[in-house]
Chain A
């Protein structure tokens, strides 16, 4: 019995290590490349320095793009939550008629290729009504993030017993008070997890933003892509390094504090 279980165990564990190497190794590479001192992208770097990182941080177009990404991310996430949390609540407590179809519609952003949304919004909204670029970009992101908000909060709500809401009602609370005083405090971590998940998704988004950015309004990933077309210096590597660091810290902290993985 022991040998039977050990053999496949060894094989699968080896594959697991290889897979991890494959998945995470590139991060190490990007990380190191960002610190390279040279003019071009040589790997391994001949020398290390903070040069490119400093340059990238100081570059105005990247600063602007970072700010835009941040603004869009925060705004879109908050609005997505405002739209999505009520849906999650309704789905779990009082599904309206036609809930199945509604669910389909609300999760469609997860299925429809994001690039088409960007293109569609561009041609049939932004250009049509001459809407400000920022608005088009924002709308695209909100649509993308709402299903995440719904999904994560819903998972938490179905595990929350309904009888405590009934108890609150018999004690005199209205529906709104019950939601504020009883439901919200108990789904707090799910809402926060949804916030982080949505924000990160928005921040890293490329396809939706491709067609919805314009002069002066660009998200960081788009700016990075544009830069890559023109030059081959390690500046993008440096940016990527920063992004990786940023995301890693983000994910590890929230996983430790909230355990996001259980909401996926």
Chain B
């Protein structure tokens, strides 16, 4: 029984091209689903359409059994956290958060209780009188979240909420978000272009490309079994090659490679971590190297194109221009039919 149901959504801007085409999605109650993809793939457009900020060209949106597609945005009871937080600059933290409740004419006592509860939940007790300009990015983000949660929406939309924070804070906030979501059991739709973030947060991930869904799966599945070249590339399989009759193809050249799995395949790929530099049956020339701490990442120039692989830091002594062996293990290869 899906809580949020998107059916055959088509969304476009003005009179021009369609940004999202024939999108179907079922989200269960309490799920955290990420819309993942590069800029322009339609993830934000989809989110804004669900919020009601953009019109639908076709299709329907059903939330908890109700068709909300025709409702104006202020009647949909959907909370939204904006990338830029969009805090009201003239109101302090308390009033920012209380805004939605005041519109709903919640009585003062109740209002106070609810606002303070949610302020505590996001860890901002004591900040009630502060103005947005007096707070850091991370704090503003938490106010934005609190403001959207306090109205007890049926659905919470988050549009790349962490992208303006520095790396360390981002990881911290990620965990916070997940914890709050679990505690409150809110259904969340999360837009991001960062695959690591999506993998860490989500119950399921929707990878989008060109206005369509490329793959909808759990993080584990997406990571280990991408189903299209685009998803594979996006999830980190940087070495993708055409495969034909026992050969990898690239640059008009061929490298022999034996596929043991049954079935027809047209594409073979590996993550850099899976390509062992230093040993193997293939040769390549070091084009560049990058120190990663425990290991060193090498970009090798091979007949079929560039291949990225790693070697443990202790053993990695090759420099630019050196010739070095590398392996493409059949055991860990990703095989795609197209």
A and B touch in the complex (CB under 8 A): yes
Q: Contact at B82–A172, with CB atoms within 8 Å?
A: no
For residue A167, CB closer than 8 A to chain B, the reply is yes
Q: Which 9 A-B pairs have the closest CB atoms?
A: A171-B100, A167-B86, A163-B86, A170-B80, A185-B90, A172-B103, A164-B86, A169-B74, A169-B73
Closest CB in chain B relative to A246 CB, distance in Å? 32
In angstroms, Cα B74 to Cα A171, docked, is: 6
Closest CB in chain B relative to A148 CB, distance in Å? 24
Q: Contact at A167–B74, with CB atoms within 8 Å?
A: no
Chain A binding site: helix, strand, loop or mixed by DSSP?
Answer: helix
For residue B3, CB closer than 8 A to chain A, the reply is no
Closest CB in chain B relative to A189 CB, distance in Å? 11
Q: Contact at B82–A171, with CB atoms within 8 Å?
A: no
Most buried by B among A167, A169, A181, A182: A167
Closest CB in chain A relative to B53 CB, distance in Å? 6
Most buried by B among A161, A170, A174: A170
Q: Which residues of B contact A181 (CB under 8 A)?
A: 99
The listed residue (A166, A173, A182) touching B82 by CB distance below 8 A is A166
Q: Contact at B88–A182, with CB atoms within 8 Å?
A: yes
Task: Give 1 or 0 for each of A166-202: 1 = CB within 8 Å of chain B CB.
Answer: 1111111110010001100110000000000000000
Task: Give 1 or 0 for each of B196-212: 1 = CB within 8 Å of chain A CB.
Answer: 00000000000000000
A170 closest partner in B (C-beta): B80
Q: Contact at B74–A173, with CB atoms within 8 Å?
A: yes
Q: Contact at B82–A167, with CB atoms within 8 Å?
A: yes
Closest CB in chain B relative to A23 CB, distance in Å? 38
The listed residue (B86, B87, B103) touching A177 by CB distance below 8 A is B103
Q: Which residues of A contact B74 (CB under 8 A)?
A: 169-174
For residue B89, CB closer than 8 A to chain A, the reply is yes
Q: Which residues of B contact A (CB under 8 A)?
A: 51-53, 73-80, 82, 84, 86-90, 99-100, 103-104, 144, 147-148, 151
Q: Contact at A172–B53, with CB atoms within 8 Å?
A: no
Q: Contact at A172–B88, with CB atoms within 8 Å?
A: no
The listed residue (A161, A174, A185, A186) touching B86 by CB distance below 8 A is A161
A165 closest partner in B (C-beta): B86
In angstroms, Cα B79 to Cα A172, docked, is: 9
Q: Contact at B100–A172, with CB atoms within 8 Å?
A: yes
Closest CB in chain A relative to B232 CB, distance in Å? 35
In angstroms, Cα B91 to Cα A173, docked, is: 16
Q: Contact at A164–B88, with CB atoms within 8 Å?
A: yes
Closest CB in chain B relative to A168 CB, distance in Å? 7
Most buried by A among B53, B82, B88, B147: B88
Q: Contact at A170–B103, with CB atoms within 8 Å?
A: no
Most buried by A among B76, B84, B99: B99
In angstroms, Cα B78 to Cα A170, docked, is: 6
Q: Contact at A164–B147, with CB atoms within 8 Å?
A: no
A-B contact pairs, 13 of them (CB 8 A): A163-B82, A166-B86, A167-B88, A167-B144, A167-B147, A169-B53, A169-B74, A170-B52, A170-B53, A170-B76, A171-B147, A173-B99, A186-B89
Q: Contact at B79–A170, with CB atoms within 8 Å?
A: yes
The listed residue (A161, A173, A182, A186) touching B84 by CB distance below 8 A is A161
Closest CB in chain B relative to A136 CB, distance in Å? 40
Q: Contact at B99–A168, with CB atoms within 8 Å?
A: yes
Q: Which residues of A contact B52 (CB under 8 A)?
A: 170
A171 closest partner in B (C-beta): B100
User: Given A166-B53, A167-B80, are A173 and B87 neighbors across the interface (CB < 8 Å)?
Assistant: no
In angstroms, Cα B110 to Cα A221, docked, is: 59
Q: Which residues of A contact B73 (CB under 8 A)?
A: 166, 169-170
In angstroms, Cα B88 to Cα A164, docked, is: 6
Q: Which residues of A contact B82 (CB under 8 A)?
A: 163, 166-167
Q: Which residues of B contact A168 (CB under 8 A)?
A: 88, 99
A172 closest partner in B (C-beta): B103
User: Given A166-B53, A177-B103, are A172 and B86 neighbors across the interface (CB < 8 Å)?
Assistant: no
In angstroms, Cα B76 to Cα A163, docked, is: 18
Closest CB in chain A relative to B92 CB, distance in Å? 13
In angstroms, Cα B84 to Cα A172, docked, is: 19
Within 8 A of B (CB), among A125-184: 161, 163-164, 166-174, 177, 181-182
Q: Contact at A186–B90, with CB atoms within 8 Å?
A: yes
Q: Contact at B51–A170, with CB atoms within 8 Å?
A: yes
In angstroms, Cα B151 to Cα A169, docked, is: 13
Q: Which residues of B contact A163 (CB under 8 A)?
A: 82, 84, 86
Closest CB in chain B relative to A161 CB, distance in Å? 7
In angstroms, Cα B104 to Cα A177, docked, is: 12
Q: Which residues of A contact B80 (CB under 8 A)?
A: 166-167, 170
In angstroms, Cα B159 to Cα A170, docked, is: 13
Closest CB in chain B relative to A100 CB, distance in Å? 17
In angstroms, Cα B104 to Cα A71, docked, is: 42
In angstroms, Cα B84 to Cα A164, docked, is: 9
Most buried by B among A166, A171, A181, A185: A171
B144 closest partner in A (C-beta): A167
In angstroms, Cα B83 to Cα A161, docked, is: 13
B151 closest partner in A (C-beta): A171
